[in-house]
Structure 1
Amino acid sequence: MQKFDLLASFDTEKYHLTLGGFYPSTHIKYKYLYVLSCIFNLFISWSQFLSMATFSYFNSSNLEKLSEILLFCMTQFAFLNKLTNFVAQKTSLMKLEVMLQSYLLTNVTQKEIDVLENHIKEGRLLAKVYRVLCFLVVLFYALFPFLDDRSGESHKFPLPCWFPFDEIKYYYQVFFMEILSIAVGAWINSNIDILTVMMCVLATAEFEVLRNRLATILQPLSTSASIAEGDALVKTKLRDCVNQYDELLCLVNQIEITFSKGIFVQFFCSVIVICLTGFQMIVISFNSMQFFLLIVYFSCMMCQVAMYCWYGHTVMESSDKIRDACYLADWNESDLIVQKSLLMIMERAKRPAILRAGNFFELNIPTLMKILRSSYSYFAVLQRLYGKK
């Protein structure tokens, strides 16, 4: 048996969120720097959101302009809610770290290490794709005001916002602050998303490790010199499996407590964002730079929602397969105590571990389909209203 560091799987996200001032830090020496970073990031993000919300109010009668600003405004709203929930759940986050350092979860064989590493590699690969999409969104927002000549304006900004001063007079300062706000939002938001996904990846991998342990739990009976010694080893392994199963169920529950409220707001806003992105793509020219920006933005939003639903679904599926693992064990060769214990595990496994968003939506593939259907329904309504005008 070897000790496997589960916390290392999200070291990158932890480091970035600590730099942003949002992850609980143990570095007392840099405490004030983290606090200043947190205040600065919150100030610039809230300022951007309030500026866009004010612009939306003054342009509520223009459907095309309103959809353009609400597109990013809803994304910013979801990000700020997710960030607020993340900061409020610091205690729960620390509990998650403690759970992931449990002896039963971290002491594994070489074969089990391979299982854990394969799952983590898959999660990291998706994280890289998501980060690239976020980077491209920021890059396109920075470039399209200079490359897109659809309006003929000489001074265009990445986002339409309201300012209590003449923004053209301070064009470069305002332009820089808008891009900085977009970059900060993409940076922090992506790290919170990937951190949540990596937690789901670890839960899925640990369920698979448990499944393999249960399927081979009766091997000591065939390898031990005496029946009594084999029975003792089997009962010890079974007790560890039961405790590990309880810890995994608590882990999934703690993941839900920590992130579910933020995910709920994200799902609600994603329906609107996907709808508005599709609407914007049909009302602007296909040859414009903004159209390519919207394609990248749409891909990023889809990746974000799909990540949550896909990995929530894998957690549910992996926990559901615990029943099969108990049945595949040669239970007919064990004594009555072991058979009863396996039966109790199977009964509990009939109710799989399910992650929910705000106790309303389950994180699974059917929920993803519901989000897409809802987005299309609102898109059809907007298209019809725009056609009448």
Structure 2
Amino acid sequence: MFNYTISWVQLLLTLTFSITQLSNLVKLSEALLFNSTQIAFVCKLLNFNLQHRSMLKLEEFLRQPTLTKVTEEEDNIIRHYVRGVRRIGLIFRVLCVVVVIFYALFPLMDRNPDGSKKLPLPIWLPFDSNKYYHTIWFSEVLSIAVGAWINSNIDILSYTLMTLGTAQFEILKNRLRNLVKTSNEFVEEDLVLEKMKQCVIHFNDINRLIDLIEKTLSNGIFVQFLCSVIFICMTGFQILVISFRSMQFVLLLTYFCCLTCQVVMYCWYGHILMNSSEDIAEACYMTEWFNGTQKIQRMFVIIMERAKRPVKLRAANFFYLNLQTLMAILRSSYSYFAVLWHIYSNQ
């Protein structure tokens, strides 16, 4: 309730400020810059709570024997992928901390043109903020810190779940490559067919895992992508219209890097997951299938035909999480930025 209250109050005050500044393009863009981030965060938090049963089901599904019974070599594959996402998560955390620090410092170092003190966030207040400046400053910094912490938690959890799906595909590919082992041109058909059956069950369970991840997170990611277009556009505009010697300029650059990294990681890990699933057919081909019986070869053909359709994570059935979507977001952001800059130049 504390998180919800502080997030919604912050969003409503910034939206009210935006309405009062419709005639001032610079201040309006500054407010929309933070609003886009806050709307995405509130929607992701709301989706996470609405989908809490799916999250519990997902956590339980990760304990399936087909996903947990692994050899030492396969366990190392999982650890390798998890270590990678932890490093990325740590970098993302550091960027979030730096952004919060800059949000706290820039109002103390920069002043408004009329000499009055700035606030970390452009919000509407029904009273004179100068009378309670330090209290408001502390409250805003606290709300930014709380939002950054929870937002990064949801993002890193999403990256980790996608990475676990990729690791399972890598384990499955490793098993398929080593499926047919020959000794003096002799292949135990029953043993190979039983292993293939286990691989098919594993493949189906991975697909069910990805479906659960998509059901749990896709709506929040969809809002994140939509708001990212506004965020990138407004940040670029703000960087051009404010003084590069101000602390706010440094804040905007850091903020841009942090939230762009947030979107890039969703698309990057989704793209890796898709590529990993596409390689299942190649893994079947790389085994010694030619030494198997006709029944074994037919089974390989069936698996390869099924693997032709790669696994893709979707954001609310509108966007795929891949690099093509990332480029579409960047192109859209630039288009809106160009229109906004043209309007500002004419004014």
Q: TM-score range by the shorter chain?
A: over 0.9
CA–CA distance in 1 between the matches of 2:113 and 2:206?
56
What are the residue-to-residue correspondences of 1:231-380 with 2, within 5 Å? Answer: 231-380=189-338
What is the Cα deviation at residue 232 of structure 1?
A: 2.8
What are the residue-to-residue correspondences of 1:141-160 with 2, within 5 Å? Answer: 141-149=103-111, 151=113, 153-160=115-122
Give the match for residue 28 of structure 1. Answer: none
What is the Cα deviation at residue 150 of structure 1?
A: 5.5
CA–CA distance in 1 between the matches of 2:21 and 2:269?
39
CA displacement, residues 7-57 of structure 1 (integer Å, 9 cap, x when unaligned): xxxxxxxxxxxxxxxxxxxxxxxxxxxxxxxx0111011000000000101
Give the match for residue 186 of structure 1. Answer: 148
Give the match for residue 44 of structure 2. Answer: 82
What amino acid sits opposite 1:49 in the alignment?
L
Q: Kindly indicate whether residue 81 of structure 2 is the aligned counterpart of residue 119 of structure 1.
A: yes
Give the match for residue 61 of structure 1. Answer: 23
What amino acid sits opposite 1:361 in the alignment?
F
What amino acid sits opposite 1:250 in the alignment?
R
Percent of paired sites with the same residue:
53
Relative to structure 1, the CA distance from residue 291 to residue 320 in structure 2 (aligned partners, 3 Å threshold; closer, same or farther) is same
Matched-pair contact (CA < 8 Å) for 2:110–2:118: no
Which is worse superposed, 315-324 or 107-116?
Answer: 107-116
CA–CA distance in 1 between the matches of 2:280 and 2:113?
59
CA–CA distance in 1 between the matches of 2:149 and 2:91?
14
Give the match for residue 34 of structure 1. Answer: none
What is the Cα deviation at residue 155 of structure 1?
A: 2.6
Give the match for residue 383 of structure 1. Answer: 341
Out of 161, 165, 180, the position equivalent to 1:218 is: 180
CA–CA distance in 1 between the matches of 2:84 and 2:184?
35
Matched-pair contact (CA < 8 Å) for 2:111–2:118: no
CA–CA distance in 2 between the matches of 1:90 and 1:116?
25
1:222 partner SS: coil
What amino acid sits opposite 1:136 in the alignment?
V
Matched-pair contact (CA < 8 Å) for 1:150–1:288: no
Which is worse superposed, 170-179 or 289-298?
Answer: 170-179
CA–CA distance in 1 between the matches of 2:2 and 2:256?
28
What is the Cα deviation at residue 302 of structure 1?
A: 0.9
Out of 168, 171, 180, the position equivalent to 1:209 is: 171
What amino acid sits opposite 2:142 in the alignment?
L
CA–CA distance in 2 between the matches of 1:312 and 1:63?
36
CA–CA distance in 2 between the matches of 1:222 and 1:296?
59
TM-score, length basis structure 1: 0.87
CA–CA distance in 2 between the matches of 1:301 and 1:223?
58
Out of 60, 74, 78, the position equivalent to 1:98 is: 60
Unaligned runs of 5+ in 2: none
CA–CA distance in 2 between the matches of 1:371 and 1:75?
15
Matched-pair contact (CA < 8 Å) for 1:158–1:179: yes
What is the Cα deviation at residue 165 of structure 1?
A: 2.7
CA–CA distance in 1 between the matches of 2:139 and 2:113?
22
RCO higher in 1 or 2 (8 Å CA, sep ≥ 6)? 2
Give the match for residue 170 of structure 1. Answer: 132
CA–CA distance in 1 between the matches of 2:41 and 2:235?
17
What amino acid sits opposite 1:52 in the alignment?
T
What is the Cα deviation at residue 152 of structure 1?
A: 5.2
CA–CA distance in 2 between the matches of 1:237 and 1:167?
70
TM-score, length basis structure 2: 0.97
1:252 partner SS: helix
CA–CA distance in 2 between the matches of 1:67 and 1:273?
9
Give the match for residue 69 of structure 2. Answer: 107
1:163 partner SS: coil
Unaligned runs of 5+ in 1: 1-38
Q: How many aligned positions are there?
A: 347
CA RMSD of aligned residues (A): 1.4
CA–CA distance in 2 between the matches of 1:88 and 1:159?
29
